[in-house]
Amino acid sequence: MPHVEPGMRIGLLGGSFNPPHEGHLNASLIALSRLGLDRLWWIVTPGNPLKDASELEGLEQRLALSRRMANHPRIDITAFEARYKVRYTQDTLSIVQRTHPLVDFVWIMGADNLASFHRWQNWRRIAAMMPFAVIDRPGSTLSSRSAPAAIALARWRVPESQAKNLAAMHPPAWVFLHGPRSPLSSSAIRSARKKSGPRQSP
């Protein structure tokens, strides 16, 4: 895992990054600024249990592309889930909290993920493990508000004006962050590549 010091505030952005794109970077910069984070980790997962793995690029390739895309002094790229052989978010959060008990972590997701959060394994436990921030996405602003998880967790939602205090709050606690929204998505990029034909080797 990336190096951290006790007392730091670290954001965790997990995903397949298949491929990474400007939308990931945009969400990361919003989180760093609005949540008052010291650093943010891109956790490149071996695979998402809720997604079709047939189009999943190799882990090493996704790591290399992520390092190239992020290229920011406060964003770290890691794939520690592969080492620990975990695929579910609850296990990921348990590992980082167990190995760094004096660090304040915030889980970060896009608004589109909030819409399907209730389908994640033990999602209520995840919400009770660590504060989380939801970054607005085009087309997901209204639907995410009516999502089953958003309704179930409504009383623990923190006003945006208190976002910088989120990392120190006892979970469950979450915030919805508005800001510049990127229309990019990994699935749309993959679809466009299919339509344009096979990529040429450099």
| Residues 12-34: tens digit of each pLDDT | 999 999 989 998 999 999 999 99
155 band by pLDDT with thresholds 50, 70 and 90: very high
Please state which CATH number belongs to domain 9-194: 3.40.50.620
Residue-level pLDDT at 47: 73
196 band by pLDDT with thresholds 50, 70 and 90: low
**Mean pLDDT for the stretch of residues 46-71:** 83
Tokens of 26: 């945009």
| Residues 67-100: tens digit of each pLDDT | 999 989 999 999 999 999 998 999 999 999 999 9
Give which of 202, 130, 142 is closest to 173, Cα–Cα: 130
- The pTM of this model reads 0.86
Whether 146 and 116 have beta carbons less than 8 Å apart is answered as no
Whether 103 and 4 have beta carbons less than 8 Å apart is answered as yes
Residues contacting 55, CB < 8 A, separation 6+:
18, 190
For residue 20, the SS3 value is coil
As a whole number of angstroms, the distance between CA 176 and CA 144 comes to 10
**Mean pLDDT for the stretch of residues 161-186:** 85
Q: How far is CA 164 from CA 35, 65, 102, 169, 175, in A?
A: 4, 30, 18, 10, 10
